[in-house]
Amino acid sequence: MFLLPKKEFEVSFEGTPLEKYMDFFDLSGKLLVYFDLDNNPLLLKETAKVEREIRFWHNNDLKLIRLADIASQAIDIGKTISYYFPHLYGMTIEQPPEPTQAFLDLCGYTGDLRSGYIYMKYYTPISVIPYTGEQNKDDIYRFLSMHKDTLLFESEKRIVPWPNDIAPSRYSEVIPKEQEDMLQLSKSLNDLPLEEKTKTYIEQIACNLEQIKETGQFLLALPILNKLLKGKTSLVQKELSPIVLDTDYNITFPKYPHVTLALSALTKAIYVLFYRHPDGIHLGELSQYKQELKRIYLDISLQNNYERLTQTIDSIVALESKAIYPHLSRIKSALYELFCESIAVHYCIVSSGKDKDLKYIPWCKENLL
């Protein structure tokens, strides 16, 4: 059972938008965040001793973060964040001039304390414990003693509303339809392996986000994100962009600035073919699209060896050759390097749930039919 803090620790926190970032950063525990608007080096040094004792009491259950430590570090979140929110591609993501104040403002803190600890649970600020020196040490211990049972033994079970694109470690008890649809699309791509370089890239993105989380940098990243994602009530709702195919066969996404799907000529020709047939193409009937695919490939590649071009297309449309599958994997890999899975699957060439040989692009089927 959660114990309310004594009145002396109560503080006014106005409505905070922090909760919407909870699942994105995959944090479900408790935080004790030290802030000092005056950046007093002596206070910062004193807190180190206090925090060693706190860690001894609470093991790893309570995460301790000092804003001063991370404010001095460079936060390079642009590439990582835009992978999950591609409409931020190309935007300059800079730390606010007063990062600690920006974080307190985001928390909705209306008090007049210049330094202290904010106790947070599930991204919800609960209490502030003043800290202006050694004399406040007992206040911190007393507060934590009041909460010790909660901090150590409270169940961490939560309902996760969106599949964790980062490193899934928790499972949802209730799966919304949007998530269920995405999982079905993802499942239909299981027979298309990602290229090794794509796997490495995704692992690096995941590692970067984990580092932002573990170092506590996410706390100072939140005011930046909140400004960029202003008006967005939830981060679980992915904002999909239309696909635009221009006369030069460039494939772009208008809602995602500076994002272009780069594919080799033959792979792009296959993608364009499926783009032009939003209801899908059955691979058993692919030979019926031979001439159309040949014209597209000729336009894109400017191939002057017509005989060789014809042989290439003959191989692609022959179902028994399975020559099309490496291209489907390359399309998947290219999209997974641009976007997180929950976005990328909508632009891949996927299989119908009822017939794995019926292939289509989900966004096209939903919007171009």
Same domain, residue pair 193 and 266: no
Domains in the chain: how many in total?
A: 2
How confident is residue 137, by pLDDT bands cut at 50, 70 and 90? confident
In this structure, what are the phi and psi dihedrals at residue 87, rounded to the nearest 5 degrees?
A: -70, -5
Tokens of 246: 């221009």
**Domain end point (choices 237, 252, 280):** 237
- Is the domain of 148 the same as that of 260? no
Same domain, 206 and 248: no
Structural domain ending residue among the three candidates 200, 217, 237: 237
275, containing H or E segment: helix 265-275
With tokens 């939560």, the residue in question is 158
pLDDT tens-place string over residues 73-128: 665 677 788 888 888 776 666 667 788 888 888 888 878 889 888 888 776 788 88
First to last CA, the chain: 53
Q: Which domain holds residue 359?
A: 244-367
Same domain? 69 vs 209:
yes
The verdict on 190 and 99 lying in the same domain is yes
Do 188 and 263 have their domain in common? no
Task: Please tell me whether residues 193 and 308 are part of one structural domain.
Answer: no
Mean pLDDT of 43-58: 77
pLDDT at residue number 257? 85
- Check residue 252 and report its DSSP letter: E
Which pTM was predicted? 0.77
Burial class (CB in 10 A: 0-12, 13-18, 19+), 354: exposed
Among 341, 340, 343, CA closest to 79: 340
Q: Which residues contact 245 (CB under 8 A, 6 or more apart)?
A: 251, 272, 275
- Confidence class for position 175, pLDDT limits 50, 70, 90: very low
Residue 201 has pLDDT above 50, yes or no: yes
Percent of the chain with pLDDT over 70: 75
Centre a 10 Å sphere on the Cβ of residue 19 and count the other Cβ atoms it contains.
Answer: 12
Based on the fold, state whether residues 163 and 309 are members of the same structural domain: no
Q: Comparing C-alpha atoms, which of 166, 237, 181 is closest to residue 350? A: 181
Q: Which of 278, 243, 282 is closest to 260 using CA atoms?
A: 243
Residue where one domain finishes, among candidates 204, 237, 270: 237
> Does residue 214 sit in the same domain as residue 286?
no
Say yes or no: 202 and 273 in one domain: no
Quickly state the pLDDT bin for 15 (edges 50, 70, 90): low
- Tokens at 20, concatenated: 């919407």
pLDDT surpassing 70 at residue 57: no
Place of tokens 């938008």: 17
Phi, psi of 108 (to 5 degrees): 80, 20
Look at residue 262 and tell me whether its pLDDT is greater than 90: yes
Query: What are the strands, taking DSSP E only, across the chain?
Result: 30-36, 62-66, 115-121, 124-130, 244-245, 251-252, 281-282, 350-351, 358-360
Do 177 and 292 fall within a single domain? Answer: no
- Same domain for 96 and 219: yes
